[in-house]
Amino acid sequence: MTFELFLQHFINGISLGSLYALIAIGYTMVYGIVRLINFAHGDIIMLAAYFVFFGVGLFHMPWWLAALFSIVLTALVGMGIEKAAYKPLRDAPRISILISAIGVSFFLENFGIVVFGGRPQAFYSPEVFQRVIKLGNVSIISLGIIIPIIAITLLLGLVYVVNNTRTGMAMRACSKDIDTAKLMGIDVDRIISLTFGLGSALAAVGGIMWGLKYPQLHPLIGIMPGLKCFIAAVVGGIGNIPGAMLGGFILGLGEILLVAFLPGLSGYRDAFAFVILILILLFRPTGILGEKVAEKV
């Protein structure tokens, strides 16, 4: 393999990895505070892509406006799901809320099939994203560079918000000790709602870019990226924000490089993530950056 070819694969991997990272954040932030794996998170990606699709196709919005509209709407849907399906179960045994999450996921998928239709649609992709950029012997599509730039900017922004703002501090407090956070006068319900909103907004950006990268749209597209990003969050250490990013990049790069170096295994592309998951659970169940904490007594 030439260096140029490797570089090309590497950029592809970073691009996919940054998408995984964006989506994985939502899993990890929600888990950090509510201790819930939000299985509906993957389907949120699908909704975001459809919102853009309808914004452009049905309401004739300019592309960027449709994207903005989709991000806001998706965040609201994420917050709505929390209010309707998770909040009433907050004091219930943890298994109930998990079942509720699986239920919401099935609901969204079937809602998509009934309302959006099961037939795949073509996702509209503006010309800006499809330009071929040549760097010496390496040629890449502009999207491959735009995705990581947007994703990394958003990830850095998130890290800044979490580490340097009052609300971010309240989020960190809630993720460590909800009771004591209440004692500080923190409105825990608001923080949880905000966490769902923020996670869903990032997933929406991820979902839209996913649509641009793989422009075939149908109501079940969220399932596989949802699962992989969940794995990314676990690999990095669930509950840990930098961990989710790291996990996303490991999975994205790993997947692309596996196919590049061992083309014979390309059919096992999706299996790669699950192999990593099994290995991590066997050898480091708390994830790469996860803390070794015992359950609170």
> Does residue 93 bind another protein (CB under 8 A)?
no
Binding status of residue 295 toward another protein by CB under 8 A? no
Count the site residues for another protein by CB under 8 A: 16
26 contacts 38 by C-beta, under 8 angstroms = yes
Residue of 92, 128, 149, 183 that binds another protein (CB under 8 A): 183
Read off the amino acid at residue 205.
V
Strand ranges inside the chain, DSSP E: 121-122, 132-135, 138-141, 216-217
For 270-297, give the secondary structure using H, E and C.
Answer: HHHHHHHHHHHHHHCCCCCCCCCCCCCC
Question: Where does this chain touch another protein (CB under 8 A) — which range of 8-16, 73-81, 144-152, 183-191?
Answer: 183-191
Tokens for 198?
């923020």
The torsion of the CA quartet 144, 159, 203, 92, rounded to 10 degrees, works out to 160
Q: How far apart are CA 180 and CA 296, in angstroms?
A: 14
Window contacting another protein (CB under 8 A); options: 149-157, 170-178, 227-235, 247-255: 170-178
Nearer to another protein, 28 or 74 (CB): 28
296 interacts with another protein by CB under 8 A: no
**Binding of another protein by 88 (CB under 8 A):** no
- Residue closer to another protein by CB (options 172, 218) is 172
Q: Which of 67, 71, 173, 202 binds another protein (CB under 8 A)?
A: 173
CB of 274 to another protein, least distance (A): 31
* Polymer length in residues for the chain: 297
Enumerate binding residues for another protein (CB under 8 A): 166, 169-170, 172-173, 176-177, 179-187
